[in-house]
Amino acid sequence: AREDYVEMIPGVPSKVYTYNGSVPGPLIRGNVGDTLIVHFTNNLPEPTTIHWHGLRLPADMDGSSVAQTPIQPGDSFTYKFELTEASLFWYHPHVRSNEQVEKGLAGALLVKERKQDLAKEIRKAKQKILVIDDVLLDEDGQVEAAFTGTMEEVLLKKINGRDGNTLLVNGSEMPTMYVKSGEPVRWRMVNIANNRFMRVVVPGHKLTRIGGDGGLLETPIEDLDDVFLVSGQRADIMFVPKGKPGSELIVYWKDTTRGRHSIDIMDNGMVMMGDDEMDGNYPDIPLMRLVFEKNYKPARELNLPEDLRTIEPIDITGAAETTLKFGHSMPMANGTVKFLINGKTFGEVTPADAPDAQVGETQVWNLVNMTGGDHPFHLHGFFFQVLETVYKDENGNVLEVVPAPPLENVDMVNLPARRGPPGAMSMVKIAITFDPAEGLTGADIAANGGVAVIEDADLGIGQRGRSGGWQFHCHILEHADGGMMSYVEVFQ
Ligand SMILES: [Cu+2]
């Protein structure tokens, strides 16, 4: 990683942080069973790590702040682990992530399916990786420092997360992509934005989602008007473009209701938090230009099989339950607000607060959102499955129970805003198996030039294979860095 100049807006060099000189970082491709070796040298002016988002890997290769002491400027570290699962993953720092990711440190990692595991229609489709981002650029095209502006603006950026003003696909604003009418495309999408949720619309086209965080779905989900990605999430979609040769189509971003707030600091120093009346109705933003190439085929339907893959539902019989409450303190006129899990910021979490698990154990986690805004939850290193979402009012009465979505292995789920005044809540129930990832080679952080954070002496656990500390947090990076982060201790 190093500082460099890239053009996100044509002709305007922006000083950014890069992996190998590009934003996003290089696309890493591999096959299931490959060992990925990344020789990393930190030439940034500050410490950093690389976290491998979504990958089931040894604890000491996870790159989080409970896995690894940050790599100092000038130092090197070798990440080495096996790729166990086919999907689109991504990588980014886990140190001051809200600044470092915003400045350009993120890239996609594609672990390919075996050809024989793919239906012909998927195999033959034209595949594109779309790394979708937004950055907040100042008048000179430079990435703005976090939390600039008036105290009200600072609090808004903390409470609502920091949206950018420039949407990027694979590092460029409004890139052009060529498609052929009648020829299926497969888009592998990852939302690497700090905060912005991406609802992507291809006008005049219905989309079919065939996969997500954890690879293929069991059954395609058809007839979608858009594809929706919270920050950090992935989607695997297909559709058959239809359009006249030479014609253009503007793929655009569409807003989502996500519980944005308004902030007023009164003359007496009181901070009033209200609802942002524009929430869900911010104007569409063009994202990408599709141009139809000359050879025209008549439009046709996708021809996908019903069964893409078998996913075993996690058996929760006898599973221990853990409840985690996501909240924040009242924002203060001096611009401070704390983001909390079970009443504590990450800096305040002690080993006694961290949930425990055994390698191989299955647990049910109740993820309770006590706030008026959405929080995309991410667990490092393990897939989970969503069981249900329950909304309760301020008196504890159940307002709605949303049953499990189609079965899928994920590493992210959006915790929707509560419906009602303080005291109301939403609760997303998930099942996690702290899987041993059999056959995964145990890594040795010291042998790779690194320093472990969690050692036997401190916590009674070491980072051996899957045992160790695994972070979970809100993937709105302003919230994560503001404290909405904790970790689970997994014992061998
Ligand atoms: Cu959040």
Identity at 171, one-letter amino acid code: G
Token pair of 350 as six digits: 């002690």
Write the pLDDT tens digit of every residue in 471-489: 999 999 999 999 999 999 9
Comparing CA positions, the residue from 107, 14, 91 lying closest to residue 49 is 91
Domain covering 320-491 assigned CATH 2.60.40.420 in the classification: yes
Ligand 1 mean position, distance from CA 278 (Å): 19
Residues 175 and 118: beta-carbon distance below 8 Å: no
Q: How many Cα atoms occupy the beta-carbon half-sphere of 278 within 13 Å?
A: 7
Confidence of residue 448 (pLDDT cuts 50, 70, 90): low
Ligand 1 mean position, distance from CA 370 (Å): 11
Taking 50 as the threshold, does the pLDDT of residue 355 lie above it?
yes
What mean pLDDT do residues 169-192 have?
96
What's the alpha-carbon Rg for the chain, to the nearest Å?
Answer: 22
Ligand 1 mean position, distance from CA 374 (Å): 6
Q: What is the pLDDT of residue 299?
A: 79
Ligand 1 mean position, distance from CA 291 (Å): 37
CB neighbour list of residue 312: distance below 8 Å, 6 or more residues apart = none
Ligand 1 mean position, distance from CA 326 (Å): 8
CB neighbour list of residue 270: distance below 8 Å, 6 or more residues apart = 333
Write the pLDDT tens digit of every residue in 372-392: 999 999 999 999 999 999 999
Is residue 157 classed as helix, strand or coil in its secondary structure?
helix
Confidence of residue 293 (pLDDT cuts 50, 70, 90): very high
Q: What is the pLDDT of residue 269?
A: 87
Write the pLDDT tens digit of every residue in 13-26: 999 999 999 999 99
Pick the most confident of 297-311, 405-419, 439-453. 405-419
Which residues sit with Cβ closer than 5 angstroms to ligand 1, an ion?
A: 375, 474, 476, 479
Ligand 1 mean position, distance from CA 318 (Å): 30
Confidence of residue 130 (pLDDT cuts 50, 70, 90): very high
Considering the chain, tell me which residue range(s) the CATH 2.60.40.420 domain(s) occupy: 2-113, 124-292, 320-491
Q: What is the pLDDT of residue 460?
A: 40
Q: What is the pLDDT of residue 440?
A: 60
Q: What is the pLDDT of residue 15?
A: 94
Q: What is the pLDDT of residue 437?
A: 77
Confidence of residue 463 (pLDDT cuts 50, 70, 90): low
Taking 60 as the threshold, does the pLDDT of residue 455 lie above it?
no
Question: CA of 259: how far to CAs of 262, 266, 274, 281, 441, in Å?
Answer: 10, 22, 10, 12, 43
Identity at 44, one-letter amino acid code: L
DSSP for residue 255? -
Taking 60 as the threshold, does the pLDDT of residue 459 lie above it?
no
Q: What is the pLDDT of residue 443?
A: 55
Question: CA of 460: how far to CAs of 64, 328, 454, 467, in Å?
Answer: 19, 31, 9, 11
Q: What is the pLDDT of residue 461?
A: 46
**Alpha carbons 485 and 475: distance in angstroms, whole number:** 9
Ligand 1 mean position, distance from CA 476 (Å): 5
Q: What is the pLDDT of residue 309?
A: 94
Percent of the chain residues past pLDDT 90, beyond the cut: 84
Q: How does the average pLDDT of the chain come out, rounded?
A: 93
Distance of CA 364 to the CA centre of its chain: 21
Q: How many helices (H) and strands (E) does the chain have?
A: 5, 32
Ligand 1 mean position, distance from CA 327 (Å): 9
**Alpha carbons 259 and 249: distance in angstroms, whole number:** 31
Phi and psi, residue 191, nearest 5°: -95, 105
Q: Which residues pair with 6 in a beta bridge?
A: 14
Greatest CA separation found in the chain? 68
Q: What is the ipTM of this complex?
A: 0.85
DSSP per-residue letters across 4-73: EEEEEETTEEEEEEEBTTBSSPPPEEEETTPEEEEEEE-BSSS-B--EEET----GGGS-STTTBPPBPT
Ligand 1 mean position, distance from CA 260 (Å): 11
Taking 90 as the threshold, does the pLDDT of residue 441 lie above it?
no
Identity at 259, one-letter amino acid code: G
Ligand 1 mean position, distance from CA 484 (Å): 7
**Alpha carbons 332 and 189: distance in angstroms, whole number:** 37
Token pair of 294 as six digits: 């000359």
Percent of the chain residues past pLDDT 70, beyond the cut: 95
Write the pLDDT tens digit of every residue in 322-347: 999 999 999 999 999 999 999 999 99
What mean pLDDT do residues 170-193 have?
96
Rounded to the nearest 10 degrees, how much is the dihedral formed by the CA atoms of 239, 206, 28, 194? 170
Taking 60 as the threshold, does the pLDDT of residue 450 lie above it?
yes
CATH class in words for 2-113: mainly beta
Write the pLDDT tens digit of every residue in 208-254: 999 999 999 999 999 999 999 999 999 999 999 999 999 999 999 99
Q: Helix, strand, coil proportions of the chain in percent (round to 5)?
A: 10, 45, 50
Q: What is the pLDDT of residue 297?
A: 80
What mean pLDDT do residues 126-141 have?
96
Of the listed ranges 58-72, 125-139, 225-239, the one predicted with least confidence: 58-72
Q: 242 burial class (0-12, 13-18, 19+ CB within 10 angstroms)? A: middle
Ligand 1 mean position, distance from CA 192 (Å): 15
CB neighbour list of residue 75: distance below 8 Å, 6 or more residues apart = 41, 42, 449
CATH class in words for 124-292: mainly beta
Ligand 1 mean position, distance from CA 258 (Å): 11
